[in-house]
Amino acid sequence: MRRLSLVFTALVVAMGVAGIEHAEANDAAVGIGNFAESYGCAPGESGVYRPYVPRSGYIAPAEPIRGPWGDMFGRNYYQITDSLASWQIPGSSKVLSVHERILPALYLAGANLSDHIGAGKSYYEYSAVARVCRTVGGALKPCGRAFGTGFDINPGSNPYSRDNYLRTDLPQWYVDSFSDAGFCWGGYWVTVKDAMHFSWSGPGQTPGYPGRPKPYPPVTSASSFTTRMAAFGAAISSTSSGSFTVADFTGEGAPDLVRIDPGGKIEAAGAVGDYRQLAFRSTLGVSTDEALVGDYDLDGVADVWVPVRSGANVAFDIYLGNTDFEVSTRVTTSIPSDTETLLLGYRDDDLIPDVYASSDGIYLVYDSEDDFAAIGGTIPLDPSVTSSWHVATGDFDVDGRADIYALSVGGAPTLRIATATGGTAVYHPTVSTTASSIFEMADYDGDGRDDVFVLNGTELTIAPGGNNSWDQDSWFQLASTIPPDAGPECVGPNPCDSIGHVDEQGVWTLADRARTNPDASAFYYGNPGDAPFAGDWDCDGIDTPGLYRRSDGFVYLRNANTQGIADLEFYFGNPGDVPLIGDFDGDGCDTVSLYRPSEHRIYIINDLGKDGAGLGAADFSFVFGNPGDVPFVGDFDADGKDEVGIRRPSTGRVMLRWDLSAGAADYEFIFGATGDIPIAGDWNGDGRDTVAVYRPSNGVWYLRLSNTGGVAHHTIDFEAAGSVSNPVAGHFGP
């Protein structure tokens, strides 16, 4: 899950439409997906990652499409072709070939355009191009147009801009006509601009979209769950207390293994990386012994439903994932509070999950469309199913309606299935269970069929519901080879530092936490060629931007993480000097010191320069290291004062001193590779800064939680490979 607020980008979104039948399900009850191409568009979240294809360029028609994109648009490109329809742009001769499931959104966009045209406005479309079956240039993922969900308007006057500069002749009313109907405009993309491009963000972003389209048929024949697909050593254990489920918390489209502990901590072991490491971490801020997961606000992001049983009927406090679970809404129901088991699933074709409540061997379905006040259906279980059995929802018959799975306890358990239409089935999957096992159903391999998940301790066993012949997890691998990493746990008592980067155009992107897919803010500050850094200039505990402009020799400091002019500027030093930022005297304020490579000498200055004047004389001056060594700053001994460390690029040797004086290193170790950029931060809040390196060749941060050699404790992908961005670190906000 990633959200990024960009202060210099205007985002205009409204919500309205008509038109499709059928109805779809989702195994993990987390909605039908958000397909937005950028987090700069509504709903402010990146859409689920498009499925992997084995080669870039033209995509063969028979290439399978797995996961949510296959559910929604077709299991291969033949099915997409069979689902194409034509739509003519109002007031234009141009006709687009698009997927039939985006027609309701286009009808709404067309109505919006017609209103503006009727008011005398006009825009001439000399070119309009829709479906083409290709990957994104140089990447192993399909472009939006491959699914018939995207189109390009007038590329000559609305070009793609890798430098993130928006060039467009599209009127705002034209853009709004599509944005208000649920389309993501490439001009709202965050790191690049594609002003010609519009793509559909999904049913949740199209007002009045007529329900959940039925999933496309699976790409495999049904199996009997007797193939033991995998047994992973998971980063989450069933022996821990809390609520467990499977849901996509990381955005790659596959089900992650999720635990919500009684204290409200949320942890997800990512499907990318075979569940072996935590890929997501957050907190509810409330204690709970019971929690469910489902998309309540239609943004394609998993929300946490906490049952409240204090009254006669159950209520739910629903913590919204797009607020990092900080905002909740109370929903009342007519479900009796003494109901033993509550599950989420989809009974009908609306977009919000329904609640399945156990009652004497029957599951009563409380319909979200009726505000959970009425029983919209029932699913009776086989009489042999007792309270000792594990239960889960899924979609066994792929009809768009949630079914109930019940798995017995034992070395050769029985799996009984009761469908929403009254059907039954019995299997004996190749798994074993105990009373403390965790049992869930979800589509791990992306074929459109439910798979059995059983967690015993840290052993996660998956038994597929379809007969497969491919590499089971290849379809959801991200463009990065680095699995998602939840980052260090902030144990305190001090604030934890985060990471950021500043690109060559002066765009600062600051993460809320040092983790994969963080919430982040972005803003312009500076000019191309400036040397960026961060520090706490006004002693308020928040690190904010600074720049050294070699063209005029001045430093420009700002006291807010926003676009704007400098609050303080002063002359810095010689053109080749390197800024060193730290609190070297422990007064709670950062200052700008310098390293002079020509002398390999460090100059420590404990006061900021006077506005418009010079930096002032050094309080300390000493030589440390050899020519070519790269200095960095941190409080390596946890004494409340920063020191200077160096890293030798040729060997990766890190050398630290505990005071501001010349001499041999007090401690040395090897960390990182050639070309890495060293930086330090207090990643876990324990008061001690530890080393990290940023690797420009792959855009990855490697963090250690101790100043010792070894492999990284956390590996965080937070920038494009080959980027020329400069890394920054600090505490960027509360």
Give yes or no for a contact between 416 and 385, defined as CB atoms under 8 angstroms apart: yes
Co-location of 469 and 577 in the same domain:
no
Q: Are strands 630-634 and 620-623 parallel, antiparallel or unpaired?
A: unpaired
* CB-facing half-sphere around the CA of 173: CA atoms within 13 A: 14
Confidence band for 587, pLDDT divided at 50, 70 and 90: very high
Domain-located, residue 360? yes
Q: CA–CA distance from 679 to each of 517, 666, 709 (Å)?
A: 20, 18, 15
Confidence band for 140, pLDDT divided at 50, 70 and 90: confident
Domain-located, residue 486? no
Report DSSP letters for 211-225, one per residue: S-PPPPPPSS-B--S
Nearest alpha-carbon partner for 323 in 304, 338, 309, 342: 304
Mean pLDDT of 706-725: 85
Sign of CA dihedral 601, 528, 682, 651: negative
Mark which of 442, 475, 508 sits at the end of a domain. 475
Co-location of 20 and 85 in the same domain:
yes
Separation of alpha carbons 645 and 1, rounded Å = 35
pLDDT in tens, 468-505: 766 667 777 655 678 889 999 999 999 999 999 998 88
pLDDT in tens, 21-80: 333 333 333 346 789 988 888 887 778 888 878 888 899 888 888 888 999 999 899 999
pLDDT in tens, 561-583: 999 999 999 999 888 899 999 99
The values of phi and psi at residue 333, to 5°, are -140, 175
Mean pLDDT of 627-634: 96
Mark which of 155, 189, 205 sits at the end of a domain. 205
pLDDT in tens, 275-305: 999 999 999 989 999 999 999 998 888 999 9
Domain-located, residue 328? yes
Domain-located, residue 718? yes
Number of Cβ within 10 Å of residue 527's Cβ equals 12
Co-location of 142 and 259 in the same domain:
no
Copy the structure tokens of residue 717: 């992908």
Give yes or no for a contact between 433 and 38, defined as CB atoms under 8 angstroms apart: no
Beta bridge partners of residue 283, listed in sequence order: 265
pLDDT in tens, 312-331: 999 999 999 989 899 999 99
Q: Are strands 459-463 and 230-233 parallel, antiparallel or unpaired?
A: antiparallel
pLDDT at 554 over 90: yes
Q: What is the CATH number of the domain that holds 515?
A: 2.120.10
Say whether the peptide bond before residue 43 is cis (omega within 30 degrees of 0): yes
Copy the structure tokens of residue 339: 């109901």
Give, to the nearest 10 degrees, the angle between helix 172-179 and helix 103-118. 150
Separation of alpha carbons 341 and 495, rounded Å = 39
Q: Which amino acid is at 205?
A: Q
Nearest alpha-carbon partner for 513 in 496, 528, 498, 531: 498
What are the residues whose beta carbons fall under 8 Å from the beta carbon of 467, sequence distance 6 or more? 220, 221, 222, 223, 227
Separation of alpha carbons 594 and 601, rounded Å = 9
The pLDDT assigned to 15 comes to 26
The pLDDT assigned to 608 comes to 95
What is the total count of domains within the chain?
Answer: 3
Co-location of 557 and 413 in the same domain:
no
Alpha helices in 74-141 (DSSP H): 77-82, 103-118
Co-location of 177 and 291 in the same domain:
no
Nearest alpha-carbon partner for 348 in 70, 18, 28, 25: 25
The SS3 call for residue 598 is coil
The pLDDT assigned to 722 comes to 55
Domain-located, residue 493? no
Copy the structure tokens of residue 557: 């400091």
Mean pLDDT of 360-366: 94
pLDDT in tens, 86-121: 999 999 999 999 999 999 999 999 999 999 999 999
Nearest alpha-carbon partner for 377 in 353, 355, 361: 355
Give yes or no for a contact between 703 and 516, defined as CB atoms under 8 angstroms apart: no
> Quick one: what percent of the chain has pLDDT higher than 90?
71
pLDDT in tens, 173-201: 999 999 999 999 999 998 789 999 999 99
Q: Which residue has the tokens 């239609």?
A: 298
Co-location of 136 and 242 in the same domain:
no
Domain-located, residue 210? no
Domain-located, residue 488? no
Co-location of 186 and 240 in the same domain:
no
Co-location of 240 and 199 in the same domain:
no
Co-location of 178 and 257 in the same domain:
no
What are the residues whose beta carbons fall under 8 Å from the beta carbon of 715, sequence distance 6 or more? 482, 483, 485, 700, 701, 702, 703
Sign of CA dihedral 592, 596, 600, 603: negative
What are the residues whose beta carbons fall under 8 Å from the beta carbon of 98, sequence distance 6 or more? 84, 85, 86, 87, 106, 130, 131, 148, 149, 151
The SS3 call for residue 139 is coil
User: What is the span of the domain harbouring residue 37?
Assistant: 4-205
What are the residues whose beta carbons fall under 8 Å from the beta carbon of 441, sequence distance 6 or more? 27, 392, 393, 394, 405, 450, 451, 452, 453
pTM of the model as a whole: 0.85
Co-location of 403 and 514 in the same domain:
no
Mean pLDDT of all residues belonging to the chain: 90
Q: Which amino acid is at 43?
A: P
Co-location of 240 and 318 in the same domain:
yes
Region for 475 from its dihedrals, namely left if φ exceeds 0, alpha if ψ lies in -120 to 50, beta otherwise: alpha
Q: What is the CATH number of the domain that holds 455?
A: 2.115.10
pLDDT in tens, 670-698: 999 999 999 999 999 999 999 999 999 88
Nearest alpha-carbon partner for 296 in 402, 204, 213, 214: 204
Number of Cβ within 10 Å of residue 644's Cβ equals 25
Co-location of 21 and 154 in the same domain:
yes
Nearest alpha-carbon partner for 248 in 46, 527, 89: 46
Nearest alpha-carbon partner for 364 in 415, 328, 319, 313: 313
Domain-located, residue 709? yes
The DSSP symbol for 46 reads P
First to last CA, the chain: 20
Strand order in the sheet with 544-549: 531-535, 544-549, 554-557, 568-571
